[in-house]
Structure 1
């Protein structure tokens, strides 16, 4: 395969200047994310139709030309299943590529199948078999092997080749704006952090706790997330999620009691025992009036099943009308997100300053006037003002 391996600021600047003249570029990243909270960028692949480059981020210290290219509104960035790529770019450069044409999403909305992998899409559209043997390799190791570089290069070579036909299919169905708005909305979500005081809402089985235990869990979850963000450590490598719940429930007062909790790892006690016990102890003197309310769960709401079924039925009707997979219109997770936003005083979506997916981007026009008709959803005019 022919590609250039870019290892200097000037080489990168020269290529980005060239690539800024074209209508679209194919982009991909390779990263490592085993024990870290954030992806560790190992390689950036770009193909502009003339030159295919592999950019070594470990050898370059001036990425201004690259960030200018990634944010150039006149150059479409073609990616496949770009969620983790967006996280990678945001963590590395604090920019989000735009506009983005995501080939996986585009293939879904034109009826090629939900969540098609890159290799499958290339096989369908180009009749080429892509070897994914290097997908789990160490992209931070140097030097990179020829096999790694060839693998990485093919990820943008074929992506660029399939883009024109896939874009034409999307335009034929008048859904190009859907592609851009879907990823623009995803980009906003990827750069929006859940406030530390709201992290406890994401902990599984939090609804089982008393109000006092919820207060402890709230403090523990905020501490764990803050520690993970500060140290760039995967959350469960700080303290496992289920152990936070157990500590909040059992409220240990010593390291021996902490060690005796089933599932608690000795290294968690050794490294973080003092911090965990301090949080539990600090909560013992808090007045009951200051306890947060018990966590609600949707299953305990009387009309949850009927309302969720009504929203799902609407999703199926919209999917059939527009010939797109139902799970792409509204998944169970997205339906539950909407119901929490409508029914609960506090939920993760609102705390992040966002709106439910079903009331955002291209979905909003399809849903909003129908959702207000669903009995039990309580989509009031006050709530609608939040998304106007």
Structure 2
């Protein structure tokens, strides 16, 4: 594989992208910093195929990333391959308003192949490619310039190994017949709604015990205010106000701005400064959360009761058995919340009751809940048996 020098000019980038646009797939990775900012700061983009790979410096003076971004979001003929690509996809979405498509995530594919619940990239490369990765530059300051050779070599190594890894995984998926399993997962990963940070929805990420409409209305207003403050200042949300402080103010709002000086987690200066004034204005404008926006009880988990909880435990045991038998990560098949909903009597809207999940697990799970399947111990081994009720 040919490794290009660090690309810092538009002409070289366009030439590379023109060639990569003829590939059936490209491996993609990014390096970024986000510890001190709201928006992730893109510091390096690595991309390659079977024949060539390069690192691209998005901070280089005058470089035009358009050909690369067009390849990511507008070229439907080239598959984009990531590993645990959620944050990489978020960066592309922030730059273009679109997500890479079509895409393939090797971490998700590894679950379908029974290689682990959330297998790390280095472990996957070592297992399937037989290479040990140098992790020495992993926590480097990618924003600092110039980048040294070790940093660039480390970064490019991620996509060169990914370009070797992907075909091996694809062949395994074809042999096992599980390629179709991943279509739904990849489409979900590519869904732009995953990467939208709408201020009016920010309250849903904040944990709060109250289910009172007035409290949740204040939470919604405060979370939207914080989101907009964080975006405007390009600071992490927690630098503006931590979640627990936000929930506390929504639950126990001060009578006036001076009361902010006594709120744990806020600087006393908020009792009289501009940001404190904007917070109080958001509180004053808050309205009780409308009935159609109130979180349903299912978001808190269904009311299982003692018997239902036991049924949910049996479903979790069944899931472990079926995952082990099928050599697939249990997490890919079902989440605990779905098992609890099934145990509580829900049948609609559960992914385990549709598609391949139903064939692999859902049918037996439904039979267990409805009394057509039971656990038994035969010869010292735990087995599933059909009951007389199922005849």
Residues 304 and 343 in structure 2, CA contact (< 8 A), matched pair in contact too: no
Q: Once the two structures are superposed, what CA deviation does each residue of 1:133-185 show, in whole Å capped at 9, x if it has no partner?
A: 22222222221111111110111111112222221111111112333431221
Cα displacement (A) at 1:30: 0.6
Which structure has the larger Rg over C-alpha atoms?
A: 2
Residue 83 of structure 2 corresponds to residue 80 of structure 1: yes
Task: Return closer, same or farther for 1:13/1:194 CA change in 2, 3 Å cut-off.
Answer: closer
| CA–CA distance in structure 2, aligned partners of residues 203 and 218 of structure 1 | 9
**Aligned twin of 1:175:** 178
Q: SS state of the match for residue 187, structure 2?
A: helix
Cα displacement (A) at 1:362: 5.9
* Runs of 5+ unmatched residues, structure 1: 344-354, 377-388
Cα displacement (A) at 1:43: 0.7
Residues 215 and 292 in structure 1, CA contact (< 8 A), matched pair in contact too: no
**Aligned twin of 2:214:** 212
Residues 32 and 139 in structure 1, CA contact (< 8 A), matched pair in contact too: yes
For normalisation by structure 2, the TM-score amounts to 0.78
**Aligned twin of 1:7:** 8
**Aligned twin of 1:29:** 30
Match of 1:141 among 141, 144, 164: 144
Cα displacement (A) at 1:199: 3.1
Q: SS state of the match for residue 180, structure 2?
A: helix
Cα displacement (A) at 1:356: 6.9
| CA–CA distance in structure 2, aligned partners of residues 228 and 334 of structure 1 | 34
Cα displacement (A) at 1:371: 7.8
| CA–CA distance in structure 2, aligned partners of residues 223 and 254 of structure 1 | 17
Q: SS state of the match for residue 99, structure 2?
A: coil
Matches within 5 A, 1:182-221: 182-188=185-191, 191=194, 193=196, 196-204=199-207, 206-208=208-210, 210-221=212-223
| CA–CA distance in structure 2, aligned partners of residues 61 and 145 of structure 1 | 20
Task: Return closer, same or farther for 1:214/1:70 CA change in 2, 3 Å cut-off.
Answer: closer
Q: Once the two structures are superposed, what CA deviation does each residue of 1:309-364 show, in whole Å capped at 9, x if it has no partner?
A: 47646644653453211122223366679999x79xxxxxxxxxxx7765788657
| CA–CA distance in structure 1, aligned partners of residues 302 and 183 of structure 2 | 37
Cα displacement (A) at 1:249: 1.9
**Aligned twin of 1:237:** 239
| CA–CA distance in structure 2, aligned partners of residues 160 and 27 of structure 1 | 9
**Aligned twin of 2:133:** 130
Task: Return closer, same or farther for 1:364/1:143 CA change in 2, 3 Å cut-off.
Answer: farther
Task: Return closer, same or farther for 1:159/1:209 CA change in 2, 3 Å cut-off.
Answer: same
| CA–CA distance in structure 2, aligned partners of residues 372 and 195 of structure 1 | 37
Match of 1:323 among 323, 327, 331: 327
Residue 152 of structure 2 corresponds to residue 160 of structure 1: no
**Aligned twin of 1:104:** 107
**Aligned twin of 2:95:** 92
Q: SS state of the match for residue 244, structure 1?
A: helix
Task: Return closer, same or farther for 1:223/1:105 CA change in 2, 3 Å cut-off.
Answer: same
Q: Once the two structures are superposed, what CA deviation does each residue of 1:188-217 show, in whole Å capped at 9, x if it has no partner?
A: 05545365444323311x223644322222
Matches within 5 A, 1:206-285: 206-208=208-210, 210-266=212-268, 270=273, 272-283=275-286
Q: CA RMSD in A?
A: 3.6
* Runs of 5+ unmatched residues, structure 2: 371-391
**Aligned twin of 2:384:** none
| CA–CA distance in structure 2, aligned partners of residues 121 and 218 of structure 1 | 41
**Aligned twin of 2:336:** 332
For normalisation by structure 1, the TM-score amounts to 0.79
The alignment covers a number of residue pairs equal to: 362
Q: Once the two structures are superposed, what CA deviation does each residue of 1:261-303 show, in whole Å capped at 9, x if it has no partner?
A: 22223466545211222233445xx689999868746357355
Task: Return closer, same or farther for 1:182/1:302 CA change in 2, 3 Å cut-off.
Answer: closer
Q: Once the two structures are superposed, what CA deviation does each residue of 1:73-113 show, in whole Å capped at 9, x if it has no partner?
A: 33222211111111111112333222222222222211222
